Amino acid sequence: MRRRKRHRRRRAVFLVVVLFGLTLAGSYLLTGGEQAQGPGASPSLEQPAQENVSGSTEIIFRQRFEQCGHINTWLGGDMPAEFALINFADLTKEQLEALLPANWRLTEFSSAAIILESVGGQCRYCLADQRYIGVHDGKIAIFRGLPPAGSLEQVTPFEVKEDVREQLEKGITFSTEEELLKLLESYTS
């Protein structure tokens, strides 16, 4: 008889625990996971706080050049010239996106770090190796850099003909010595 009473008590305790658990689970599901905030409390309608740029936010600029694959990175307060007039302090993600130059996009935004990226443009490392023919003192010359502001490498003995002067003053790029010889031949014959 004692065994039976003990068995009934255990079953009753088990049922009470199960019913209590089911009541809690049902309450959780009905409130959508919100915890009650006291008598008569309604679910919170507050929006999560927006993150803003602060004085401790690290701002990283990356510019990738498709033609050569080089990447320029600016860190520690250095930035591309087009960002010099932007005050980043207290900007939200949406405000910053509205201020971005057309060729830049925001790839990461948090109060800890911001990453801005751009693809395209002229790679300054590759431009240093670019060569072109142009005009120097009335003669065809070979330059290194971006036309028409490269540095003079060599002046040829060939006079510039008036009918091609305008083209040569703008600069005509070449990649190989073979291309250079073909250009010189076509502009001197």
Q: What angle do CA 109, 115, 117 make, to 5 degrees?
A: 130
Task: Report the pLDDT value the prediction gives residue 3, as an integer from 0 to 100.
Answer: 63
Q: Tell me which residue has tokens 């996009």.
A: 105
Edge-first strand order for the sheet with 104-109 is 71-74, 58-64, 113-119, 104-109
Instruction: Summarize pLDDT for 4-33 with one digit per residue, the tens.
Output: 666 667 776 666 666 666 666 666 656 555
**DSSP state for residue 20 in the 8-state scheme:** H
Instruction: Summarize pLDDT for 57-79 with one digit per residue, the tens.
Output: 999 999 998 877 888 898 878 88
The domains of the chain are located at: 58-119, 128-188
At 53, which amino acid appears?
V
Tell me which residue of 167, 166, 157 sits closest to 188, measured CA to CA: 157
- Name the band, by pLDDT with cuts 50, 70 and 90, for residue 46: low
- Name the band, by pLDDT with cuts 50, 70 and 90, for residue 124: confident
pLDDT above 70 as % of the chain: 74
Structure-block tokens of residue 48: 């999560």
**In contact, 60 and 75? CB cutoff 8 Å:** yes
Class of domain 128-188: alpha beta
**pLDDT above 70: residue 143:** yes
**In contact, 151 and 143? CB cutoff 8 Å:** yes
**pLDDT above 70: residue 139:** yes
> What is the pTM (predicted TM-score) of this model?
0.48
